[in-house]
Amino acid sequence: MTTAAARRQHLRWAVELTSLPTAAGREHRVVRWIENWLAQRRNLALRRDRCGNMLISRKGAKRGGRPVLITAHLDHPAFVITTVRDNRHVEAEFRGGVRPPYFLKTRVRAFGAGDESHLGTIIEHGKGKLFDEVVIRLSRPTKALKVGDIATWNLPAARVRKGLLGAPACDDLAGVAAALGAMDELRSKPGVGDVRVLLTRAEEIGFLGAIATCRSGLIPKNAKIIALENSRSFAESPIGGGPILRVGDRISIFHHGLAYEVGRIATSLEKRRGGFKWQRKLMPGGACEATTFQAFGYEAICLCLPLGNYHNMANLAEVIEGRGGVKARIAPEIISVEDFHGLIDWLVECGRTLAAPARRRRSGADGAHMIRTMMEKNEAARSYVLNERAARL
């Protein structure tokens, strides 16, 4: 069980990470944070592919079985500067999915190479070939901004209040924090097998990092993949109801055998630990990297945190429905602190169970095998009942 001190540390990491400016293809500030985190943990190793995706593994971990990969992405919807018109105006493309009413006259903050920030306002918005395109008028003149610098919505740094974490970028930096928290718990535990953390780039513009990892050979073909996400909350998937076993998204249904295994782990954790809650939902409000990994032949599922103000869009349901008088407003994304801690606990149990060396695994622990066994038992029962009925006729 995760200690109170560890929970405080994990939450601190979440607050720090979800405050960092990041964008698809421009995730360097988050990467730098992770590199500093890894420098303090000598029993963890880092590999990268040519696209900059990061694979963290435990040194000396026993290989030979099927590795378990916990994945999360490093980016969040944000602007990337494409043209500097003059010292008061820049053009930028928006890499991510936000609806048009949220752009015009909205305040943003641009970040130069030295991490200094510059307040501005969107004065023009339109659709480009690939991305939404905007013109930003800066509040003060500056020569510090360059092509390739990023801008984000003008939001306060992450903070915890009344059991909720409100932050500029929970999606998916809270997932990154949860993955690192689980790996930190697992890295020195005896008997844990091959657990790795995969951190991908440019998810928000078409799963580019995940696709690259499948093609580059960075991850083994026999890996079991648990993708982490922050998914838009609905009435039937409430914030505070526990982390969610996401059985599918708006594109596909995820691997049934692995979902069965992970669900059994949650049920066991719920019985052994008072207060642990979890949910099992489809979550069709968006798509996630589990769909990508499955398309390349991997066994993949998703665990997600129910998210408020998805992609920073407050009043989203009302805006989509066109309700009069409801303003499209940018706001911090929101997750439950207890959901976040519950996700880490769940991941730790998955790491201990799914990645245990083969000789330590119970016979029949594979999800697909258990489902086949259950079906065979059901068929045997069906045959028995039908034969009994026939004998009475």
Q: What are phi and psi of 207, to 5 degrees?
A: 60, 35
Query: Is the distance from CB of 306 to CB of 339 less than 8 angstroms?
Result: yes
Which residue bears the tokens 């049934």? 256
Orientation angle between helical segments 337-354 and 170-186, nearest 10 degrees: 50
- Rounded distance between C-alpha atoms, residue 135 and residue 124, angstroms: 5
What is the model's pLDDT at position 392? Answer: 60
Burial class (CB in 10 A: 0-12, 13-18, 19+), 28: middle
Query: Is the distance from CB of 315 to CB of 329 less than 8 angstroms?
Result: yes
Query: Is the distance from CB of 289 to CB of 71 less than 8 angstroms?
Result: yes
Query: Is the distance from CB of 111 to CB of 148 less than 8 angstroms?
Result: no
How is domain 4-76+158-360 classified at the CATH fold level?
Aminopeptidase (3.40.630)
- Rounded distance between C-alpha atoms, residue 198 and residue 247, angstroms: 20
Where are the domains positioned within the chain? Answer: 4-76+158-360, 78-153
Tokens of 81: 């500067």
pLDDT in tens, the chain (393 residues): 689 999 999 999 999 999 999 999 999 999 999 999 999 999 999 999 999 999 999 998 877 679 999 999 999 999 999 999 999 999 999 999 999 999 999 999 999 988 899 999 999 999 999 999 999 999 999 999 999 999 999 999 999 999 999 999 999 999 999 999 999 999 988 888 899 999 999 999 999 999 999 999 999 999 999 999 999 999 999 999 999 999 999 999 999 999 999 999 999 999 998 889 999 999 998 899 999 999 999 999 999 999 999 999 999 999 999 887 889 999 999 999 999 999 999 999 999 999 876 544 443 445 666 666 666 767 666 665 556 655 565
For the domain made up of 78-153, the CATH class stated in words is mainly beta
Query: Is the distance from CB of 314 to CB of 330 less than 8 angstroms?
Result: yes
Query: Is the distance from CB of 289 to CB of 233 less than 8 angstroms?
Result: no
